[in-house]
């Protein structure tokens, strides 16, 4: 089977069988070091290794766990992915967005995408959560490139005028009025950006920078799901501090803030209903 939409549908069928839940409402994808946040969202009714679902590649990056949980969040049934895969791991775009497509095939109409990000805008500080208001996709890739979607799926020419739902951002701010918003720039990685690249991104209007999320957002919006994006600032971007950038410190920062992030998500998810 080579059709990525059919593969996602098959993964969703397997997910329903293994969790005992016919349909889920919302999916959460956790970023680097955020796995402990899953506990704050709620006790899982089922935990499924993604290797048992088909179509998934196991993450090779520290801080990402190859499993998905089925959790009750208020009146909603949530899927919580404990990690993700990235372009820089050598995967095809279809593999990178497979979790999002599977979640939507499993019934999810809201996708919550979280990530660890470098802070570009002055005033953003490590440990701070920031709502994503928009993104700049600088990966050079799209999940909608290649053969057109099969019959029955929307056109590949997806409108991204509101890539990140204003309604969902308002719900998040109601849960935590201190949340700021920012534009997320997605680069392919895995190397961190140069100071010159950060100056370019700042001039282009980016407030945050990372190596994920944008492709998943495009895939989700193509299939009609609403997206809420949430970045955790784990470090200041290159050239903005005297500290060298280190992935282990990014993961550690995510782990230190995991309880706060999980508590925030636990507040937000029931309000989506």
At 254, the pLDDT band (50, 70, 90 cuts) reads low
Of 89, 180, 197, 249, which one is the catalytic site residue? Answer: 89
Structure confidence by residue, pLDDT tens digits, 161-199: 999 999 999 999 999 999 999 999 999 999 999 999 999
The rounded distance, in Å, linking the Cα atoms of 85 and 65 is 10
Q: Residue 144's pLDDT is what?
A: 97
Question: Is 1 among the catalytic positions?
Answer: no
Query: Is 211 annotated in the active site?
Result: yes
Q: Which of 11, 12, 73, 86 is catalytic?
A: 86
192 is catalytic: no
Selected catalytic residue, list 11, 38, 64, 237: 64
pLDDT of residue 1: 55
Does the active-site annotation cover 135? no
CATH of the domain at 192: 3.40.50.1580
pLDDT in tens, 11-43: 999 999 999 999 999 999 998 767 778 888 989
pTM: 0.94
**Active site residue: 137, 212, 216, 231, which one?**
212
- For residue 233, the enclosing domain spans 4-272
Over residues 98-124, mean pLDDT = 96
Of the listed 88, 91, 92, 175, which one is catalytic?
A: 88
Name the range with the highest mean pLDDT among 153-157, 230-234, 251-255: 153-157
* SS3 annotation, the chain: CCCHHHHHHHHHHHHHHHHCCCCCCEEEECCCCCCCHHHHHCCEEEEEEHHHCCCCCCCCCCCCCCEEEEEEECCEEEEEECCCCCHHHCCCHHHHCHHHHHHHHCCCCEEEEEEEEEECCCCCCCCCEEEEEEEEECCCCCCCCCCCCCCCCCCCCCCCCCCCCHHHHHHHHHHCCCCEEEEEEECCCCCCCCHHHHHHHHHHCCCEEECCCHHHHHHHHHCCCEEEEEEEEEEECCCCCCCCCCHHHHHHHHHHCHHHHHHHHHHHHHHHC
32 labelled catalytic: yes
Our count of domains for the chain comes to 1
């Amino acid at each position: 089977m080579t059709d990525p939409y059919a593969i996602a549908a098959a993964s969703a069928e397997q997910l329903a069988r293994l969790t005992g839940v016919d349909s889920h409402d919302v999916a959460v994808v956790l970023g680097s070091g955020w796995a402990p946040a899953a506990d704050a969202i709620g006790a899982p009714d089922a935990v499924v290794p993604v290797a048992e679902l088909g179509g998934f590649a196991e993450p090779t990056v520290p801080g990402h766990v190859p499993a998905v949980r089925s959790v009750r969040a208020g009146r909603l049934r949530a899927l919580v992915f404990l990690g993700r895969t990235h372009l820089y791991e050598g995967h095809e775009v279809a593999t990178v967005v497979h979790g999002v497509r599977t979640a939507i095939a499993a019934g999810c109409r809201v996708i919550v995408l979280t990530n660890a990000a470098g802070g570009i805008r002055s005033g953003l500080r490590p440990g701070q959560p920031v709502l994503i208001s928009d993104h700049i996709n600088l990966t050079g890739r799209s999940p909608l490139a290649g053969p057109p979607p099969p019959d029955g799926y929307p056109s590949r020419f997806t409108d991204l005028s509101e890539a990140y739902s204003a309604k969902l951002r308002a719900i998040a701010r109601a849960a935590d009025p201190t949340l700021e918003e920012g534009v997320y720039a997605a680069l392919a990685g895995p190397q961190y950006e140069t100071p010159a690249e950060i100056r370019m991104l700042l001039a282009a209007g980016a407030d945050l920078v990372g190596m994920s999320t944008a492709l998943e957002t495009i895939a989700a919006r193509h299939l009609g799901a609403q997206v809420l994006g949430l970045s955790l600032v784990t470090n200041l971007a290159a050239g903005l501090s005297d500290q060298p950038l280190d992935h282990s410190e990014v993961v550690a920062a995510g782990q230190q803030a995991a309880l706060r992030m999980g508590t925030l998500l636990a507040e937000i998810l029931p309000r989506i209903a």
